A and B are shown apart, each in its own frame.
Chain A
């Protein structure tokens, strides 16, 4: 899913950011 202004959207944004961010 994507929006032209907001970029690609992920329903699991919280889990994905948590796995990418430094601990």
Chain B
């Protein structure tokens, strides 16, 4: 029944189903899914890719029991501050990072399992008026926060057991940083998008602010999702929650822009717009490699191939209600789609 409700709609005469329903998770004790992610978890010498679901006041870890079936391993109960998001930490095992707050992030916590006394724990990483946070390679976390007039951009690293090490400060730009992306192909390069629609580039090793480049006025409040360097150009994948519809490019959800970091000049490479005839706009989404997925204001989820610049699949809202969030799982785990009722569906994308 669930599979029937969630059958993807295909576009442009595609004959192969590239998004297939796999399984569903439903936490009977929770009513609202805030976020979902995947994490590598090792127990009794067995390392598995598990699913993490977050509700406002708890975070649950699910392990695969049998094909298409999941069992809850543990639920961390959080305090009075609601969970806002799960922050994926790349290449880590047995570590889950979460952001909590009211409207804005007020604190970041680590959820972990201690093998010393075989117990599940949580620890406080950072508090403040946090505007943006991203998990980086090598068990690091970068965040931007504001105190009065000052902005702090800080990188914190963790040990394998989840202990926070000494943080490094990056030189902040004048405007507030709203999103980060590591630059693939250039070790130690980090980019961010700011409240006045600029791209900033840092050297993570030295903390230097290397460049500030304006995105343009046509696409306000752009958010960076991915960045990579190729042939001397910096390619940045941006989403445009507030972009206006135009005749030339439709209703753009994602855009790839090529910047020349030496001159700060840029050119648009490819647009990924909402499917033709689909009403509504981009609400939130995620990019993994050349694939982008987003929840639309209609309650549907759209998937794009960013290299082709076109929508390849659409999950309609269905009778059970609209989709609330969408994430890409690690290691080919496919698409994780959450509904407002707390259920999470897994889809294979091929």
Contact = CB atoms under 8 A, between A and B. Distances in A.
B260 A7 contact: yes
Contact of A6 (B188, B203, B209, B265): B265
B260 A9 contact: yes
Contacts of B208: 18, 21-23
B324 to A, nearest CB: 38
B115 interface: no
A7 B265 contact: yes
**Chain B interface secondary structure, helix, strand, loop or mixed?**
strand
A17 B261 contact: yes
A14 B186 contact: yes
A2 to B, nearest CB: 9
B295 interface: no
B260 A17 contact: no
A7 B261 contact: no
A3 B229 CA distance: 16
21 contacts: A6-B258, A6-B260, A6-B263, A6-B266, A6-B267, A7-B263, A8-B263, A9-B232, A9-B233, A9-B260, A13-B232, A14-B186, A14-B189, A14-B203, A17-B261, A17-B262, A18-B203, A18-B210, A21-B209, A21-B211, A22-B208
